[in-house]
Amino acid sequence: MRDTYLDDYLSFLRFPSVSTDDQFKGKVNDCAQWLVKKLEGIGLETKLVPTAGHPVVWARNKHQPGRRSVMIYGHYDVQPPDPLELWESPPFEPVLKDGYVFARGATDNKGQILSHILGVQEAMEQNGDLPVNLHFVIEGEEEIGSGNLPKFLSDNREALKCDVAVVSDTGMVARGVPTLSYGLRGVTALEIKITGAKMDLHSGVFGGAVANPITALARLLATLHDENGHVAIEGFYDKVKPLEDWERKAWRELPIDGDKAILDETRAPGLFGESAYSTFERIWGRPTAEINGIGGGYQGMGTKTVIASHAMAKLTFRLVPNQEGDEILALAERHLKKHLPPGVTMEITRGHSGPWYLTDPHSDVGQAAQRALREAFGKDPAMIREGGSIPIVSQFRDILGVETLLMGLALPDCRAHSPNENFPLENLEGGIRLNKAVLAELAKK
Ligand SMILES: [Zn+2]
């Protein structure tokens, strides 16, 4: 790999482009400016587009009629580096160690998007042009929910007209195994507040006479699942699209032991979930109901003989095709009301929602992606879905009318969002090869 590639990478990583914290606003902007210069330097027409938040960097080559148009999306913002004391080297002073670069953003998403930029640079140098009409859209608000991206997409819908989107912001199932992610789970959320008496009560004076909201909440939450981890909300699975035989087979044959990998990574004492499904099937292809937070009563040192006035819990549901967020929330509310123990009242507040995503990896562009992954990494690609959610890919479909090829370069132990985030230079190089291969393959119609 050329020295200048590493220089570019380290320069990009030195910007503390933390989007969520206003004190970094200037640095986020400096990072965007650096990208503009880099993209202009390789011969792309580049604009910095202001939004109500952080700007979008938008670059394109000279478009020619008759060619396929491809949008490569990435983000230049990063998560906060906290807790700082757990970093072995400062998060914004990248360090190269044993072939890995350690810095906030190394994987998510600077290393991955830069590999595409460097791939384009190489192709432009070698051929004077790219085989496709290209847009780079690199935003600065992915880590805070991409709130201003839909407006950017709709404002520029005509100019951004393309045939497919390419995103490297997901994972490889294992080191050296190229991976095409063709599905994501959606998510929806609600909050429960249970109220008993109007104030906290003395448990000796009132205990036995009134309901305890924490007990009521515990009983209520326990009705969400049966003893095998199956969600017990009536109608919850009605719209779930069954897994296809080919995908169950593909996931069984992945070159990794998913159960072991998860036990090793999480150090959980055992796995748990719906018994008729493998671990990957449960994460990638089945919906869940999770209790994310629970609270109420005295939490300080020692004891306090009290019956709390309130108890609360936060719930989220991971959704799969063809479940719909509002419908699931309505079913959940009906279930919770039906099972609410006597003597308390309940308030339910609906939270945010993001849709699931599923695209056909055997489509024309899906096959082009598979060929490119094989070419860049010398191995058949793993075809997987992911358990997480990336709402922007649904916006690419809804606003631009295109499917997204998720060709992630993150390794399972990359520590994205955590201290000591890292990315191997081998994947930066792999990403450069992948970029050139995928643009070449997508150029073939
Ligand atoms: Zn991230």
**Ligand 1 centroid distance, CA of 138 (Å):** 14
Percent of the chain with pLDDT over 90: 95
Which CATH code, of 1.10.30.50, 3.40.1050.10, 3.30.70.360, 3.90.1150.10, is assigned to 193-240+287-354?
Answer: 3.30.70.360
- At 391, is the pLDDT very low, low, confident or very high (cuts 50, 70, 90)? confident
Q: State the Cα–Cα distance between residues 126 and 174, nearest whole angstrom.
A: 32
Per-residue model confidence (pLDDT) at position 443: 97
Q: State the Cα–Cα distance between residues 42 and 55, nearest whole angstrom.
A: 21
Q: For 372, how many CA atoms within 13 A lie in the half-sphere containing its CB?
A: 30
User: Average pLDDT for residues 21-41, to the nearest whole number?
Assistant: 97
**Ligand 1 centroid distance, CA of 169 (Å):** 8
**Ligand 1 centroid distance, CA of 78 (Å):** 7
pLDDT of 338 over the 90 cut: yes
pLDDT digits (tens, 9 = 90+) for 49-99: 999 999 999 999 999 999 999 999 999 999 999 999 999 999 999 999 999
Beta-bridged to residue 88, according to DSSP, are: none
- Whether residue 46 contacts residue 57, with contact meaning beta carbons closer than 8 Å, is answered with yes
Per-residue model confidence (pLDDT) at position 429: 97
pLDDT digits (tens, 9 = 90+) for 402-430: 999 999 999 988 999 999 999 999 999 99
CA end-to-end span of the chain: 31
Q: For 271, how many CA atoms within 13 A lie in the half-sphere containing its CB?
A: 17
User: Average pLDDT for residues 14-39, to the nearest whole number?
Assistant: 97
**Ligand 1 centroid distance, CA of 171 (Å):** 11
- At 431, is the pLDDT very low, low, confident or very high (cuts 50, 70, 90)? very high
**Ligand 1 centroid distance, CA of 416 (Å):** 7
Strands 422-424 and 100-102: antiparallel
Q: Where are the domains of the chain?
A: 3-184+356-443, 193-240+287-354
**Ligand 1 centroid distance, CA of 412 (Å):** 14
**Ligand 1 centroid distance, CA of 110 (Å):** 10
**Ligand 1 centroid distance, CA of 245 (Å):** 32
Tokens of 50: 């202001």
**Ligand 1 centroid distance, CA of 224 (Å):** 30
CA dihedral over 32, 38, 42, 45, signed as positive or negative: positive
**Ligand 1 centroid distance, CA of 419 (Å):** 13
3-184+356-443, CATH topology level: Aminopeptidase (3.40.630)
Per-residue model confidence (pLDDT) at position 399: 97
pLDDT of 445 over the 90 cut: no
**Ligand 1 centroid distance, CA of 306 (Å):** 42
Per-residue model confidence (pLDDT) at position 439: 98
Q: Coil, strand, or helix at residue 52? A: coil
Per-residue model confidence (pLDDT) at position 1: 83
pLDDT digits (tens, 9 = 90+) for 271-322: 999 989 999 999 999 999 999 999 999 999 999 999 999 999 999 999 999 9
Per-residue model confidence (pLDDT) at position 414: 94
| Whole-prediction pTM | 0.90
Per-residue model confidence (pLDDT) at position 390: 86
Per-residue model confidence (pLDDT) at position 353: 85
**Ligand 1 centroid distance, CA of 282 (Å):** 23
**Ligand 1 centroid distance, CA of 331 (Å):** 31
Q: State the Cα–Cα distance between residues 358 and 320, nearest whole angstrom.
A: 9
**Ligand 1 centroid distance, CA of 318 (Å):** 18
Q: State the Cα–Cα distance between residues 70 and 165, nearest whole angstrom.
A: 6
Q: State the Cα–Cα distance between residues 159 and 135, nearest whole angstrom.
A: 10
Per-residue model confidence (pLDDT) at position 57: 98
